[in-house]
Copies of this chain bind each other. A is one copy, B any other.
Amino acid sequence: MRKLVPMARTAPSTPVPAADAVDVGCCPSVVVDVLDDEEAAALAAGFAALADPVRLRLLNLVATAPEVCSCDLTGPLERSQPTISHHTRILSEVGLIAGEKRGRWVYWRVVPERLSQLRAALAPS
């Protein structure tokens, strides 16, 4: 710890008096709220799903079309079918995409609400 600071700064013991009370009720923000361990873990899980280039491009492909079949992902993403299945699974487990099986194929679409939640977590207000 330090004894004296060369510049005046707010005490870390009182970061922001009562900002968590203004919480919308659905999406805590990293910037304005005070995160506890659970909230941080939940948000981290969401961002972890976005922390891979292949998954980001997969999400991108699904987002820029009404819906996309799994079979149309292996080509553009240049990954094997099991790998694509692995990534769609991860994205769907955190609720970023949702799949519907029709016949032999699975069609994916984005879940914009989930995307908005993660985006709100980075919002300054």
A-side residues, CB < 8 A to B, are 1-2, 5-7, 9-10, 12, 15-16, 19, 30-35, 37, 40-41, 43-45, 47-48, 50-57, 59-61, 63-69, 71-72, 76, 102-105, 107, 110, 112, 115-116, 118-119, 122-124
A56 contacts B69, CB within 8 Å? no
Q: Which residues in B have their C-beta under 8 angstroms from that of A31?
A: 60, 63-64, 110, 112, 115
Q: How many copies does the complex hold?
A: 2
Q: Bound state CA distance, A97 and B102, in angstroms?
A: 46
How many angstroms between the C-alpha atoms of A31 and B102 in the bound complex? 24
Q: Identify which of A35, A56, A104 gathers the most chain B CB atoms within 10 Å of its CB.
A: A56
